[in-house]
Amino acid sequence: MGPLLTLAGDCAIFCKTAPWKDQNVVDLSRTRMNVSFNVRKVGATDLGPIHRAVDIVPDVKHVFVCMPYEGIHVIDVADPRRPWVIDNWGWWQEGWLPVRMKIVGTYAYVVGSVPRQPPGLRILDISRPTHPHELGYCKGDGVGGWEPFHWDIAIAGTLAYLIFDGNLVWVVDVSKPSAPEEVSDILMEAPTTAIQIRGDLAYVVAHGLHVMDLRDPVAPIIVGYCNTTARSQVKSSSSFPGEDPMCRPLVIGRDRAYVSDTQGGYRILDLSHPKKPTPIGWLHPPTDMRDVDFAVNGDFAFMLEIGSRGHVRVLDMGDPLDPVTTGYRDIPYPCHCLAVSGEHLYVAGFTHFGIYDCSAAMNRTS
C-alpha cells in the first residue's frame, strides 16, 4: 500500500488510501527548529483588537483582511518590510457582517449577512482601495448557517456562485455590478461548504467532491464525483467535539484538489482527468490540530496551525506520495488564516498581520 503524509511532532506518517492501515514513518527531525526553518519574517503590523480574521485576499499592492465584526482592513504591502493599515471599512451601522470576498480586477465581491437574516452579495468598486464605492447588493432567500468557514464564493465570467452553509449553490448574474440579480439555485444532495471554478468546471464540496459542467451555467450537470468522507484510523484531538474543523474546505492547485475532512486533515485528489477526481492521499495537520488553514502555490502547500501561537509549515508536494517539509515558522501570536502570493506568505490573527518570505523553502536547488 502506498504512503500518505501525517505530520506529528518530528515525524510524517504517510498512507495512500482508506482504510489507511499501513503507515510508513519518515523522520523529519532534521527540519525541526523552535523558531524558523527556511521561512523568514519580512514585516508585520498591528491590526488592533479583532475577534477573528476569516479571509485574506492579496492584490497587487494591497492585502484585504476580512473580519466579520471589524469589517475589512486594507493593508498596503507595496513595501513588504513595512506593511501598514491604510483604512478599514464595513457595514457597522446596519450590522452586516462580511465573511468571504473575492477580487476580480477593480471589483470586490463580498458575501455576508446580518445574523439570522438572509445572506447576500455586495459588489464594490475598489479602484481606490481606501475609498470603496458600493455598486450593488443582492439579498438571497432563507437564512444561511453562521459558520464562516462553510461560506464561499467563486466568480466565472459574469456569474457569481455563492454558498451559505446549506444545500444550495446560489447563482447571481453580476454582469451589471449596480444591479446583481439572482438567476438560479443549484440544489445539492448534501450541505455544501466550498466551491472553486476552473474553466467550464466547478468543484463543489458537499459530503464529497462534485464536478459540475457549467457550460449551461444556470442548469449545470454533475459529471464527476469522489467520496472524501471516509474517516481515517488516525484519531485527532478536538477542541470542538462534534463540530467541523475550522479549516478552508477546498483548495485547488495545479492538478490536485485538497478537500478537508472532519478531522482537520485534507484528502488529496488527482485532477489530471478533471471529471474523474481520484484519491491519492491524505494530509493530516501537525500535532493532530483540527483548527488549520491551508493554501497552495504550485507544488508547495502551506499549512497554518491555529492556536495561541501560529505554526506554519511549508510542504513540497511535487511527489504527493512523498511530501517533504521544506520550511517551518513559529509565530508567537494567535493566527487565524493565511494566503500566499508568489514567495510571500500573509498571516493574520487577533492583532497580528505578518508577511513571511518562503523563497528558501520553495527553492528546490538549495
| Cβ atoms < 10 Å from Cβ of 98 | 25
Decide if 239 is inside a domain: no
The residue with greater pLDDT, 330 or 22, is 330
DSSP 8-state class, residue 231: P
Q: What is the pLDDT of residue 230?
A: 61
Residue % of the chain over a pLDDT of 90: 53
CA geometry: angle at 77 spanning 100 and 292, to 5°? 45
Q: 55 and 115, same structural domain?
A: no
CA distance 143 to 151: 12
CA 105, 218, 207, 117 torsion-angle sign = positive
Q: 267 and 148, same structural domain?
A: no
**Average pLDDT of the residues in 276-289:** 78
Decide if 79 is inside a domain: yes
Decide if 32 is inside a domain: yes
* Residue 233, pLDDT above cutoff 50: no
Decide if 238 is inside a domain: no
**Mean pLDDT value across the chain:** 82
**Average pLDDT of the residues in 76-90:** 95
Q: 66 and 107, same structural domain?
A: no
Structural domain ending residue among the three candidates 226, 256, 280: 226
| Cis, bond preceding 80 (omega within 30 deg of 0) | no
Q: 127 and 101, same structural domain?
A: yes
Structural domain ending residue among the three candidates 226, 260, 286: 226
Q: What is the pLDDT of residue 286?
A: 61
**What is the CATH number for 200?**
2.120.10.30
| 249 pLDDT tier (thresholds 50, 70, 90) | confident
What is the domain extent for residue 310?
A: 1-84+245-366
Q: 302 and 263, same structural domain?
A: yes
Q: 100 and 203, same structural domain?
A: yes
Q: 293 and 188, same structural domain?
A: no
| 320 pLDDT tier (thresholds 50, 70, 90) | confident
Tell which residue, 34, 59, 147, has the closest CA to residue 346.
59
Decide if 313 is inside a domain: yes
Poorest-confidence range of 3-7, 28-32, 272-276, 350-354? 3-7
Decide if 274 is inside a domain: yes
What does the DSSP assignment read for 41-72?
EEEEEE--S-S---EEEE-SSEEEEEETTTEE
* Residue 271, pLDDT above cutoff 90: yes
Q: 313 and 250, same structural domain?
A: yes
Q: What is the pLDDT of residue 218?
A: 78
Tens of pLDDT, residue by residue over 171-180, are 999 999 999 9
**Threshold 0.95, pTM exceeds:** no
Decide if 26 is inside a domain: yes
Q: What is the pLDDT of residue 277?
A: 96
25 Cβ contact partners less than 8 Å away, ≥ 6 residues apart:
11, 12, 13
Poorest-confidence range of 23-37, 84-98, 206-220, 321-335? 23-37
| 366 pLDDT tier (thresholds 50, 70, 90) | low
42 Cβ contact partners less than 8 Å away, ≥ 6 residues apart:
80, 81, 344, 355, 356, 357
Q: 266 and 149, same structural domain?
A: no
* Residue 203, pLDDT above cutoff 80: yes
Q: 94 and 219, same structural domain?
A: yes
Q: 273 and 145, same structural domain?
A: no
CA distances from residue 341 to 56, 90, 100, 140 in whole angstroms, order as listed: 11, 25, 18, 32
| 35 pLDDT tier (thresholds 50, 70, 90) | low
Tell which residue, 143, 71, 73, has the closest CA to residue 114.
143
Tens of pLDDT, residue by residue over 109-154, are 999 999 888 899 999 999 999 899 999 999 987 666 666 678 899 9
Q: 203 and 100, same structural domain?
A: yes
Decide if 293 is inside a domain: yes
Specify the number of domains making up the chain: 2
* Residues comprising the chain, all counted: 366
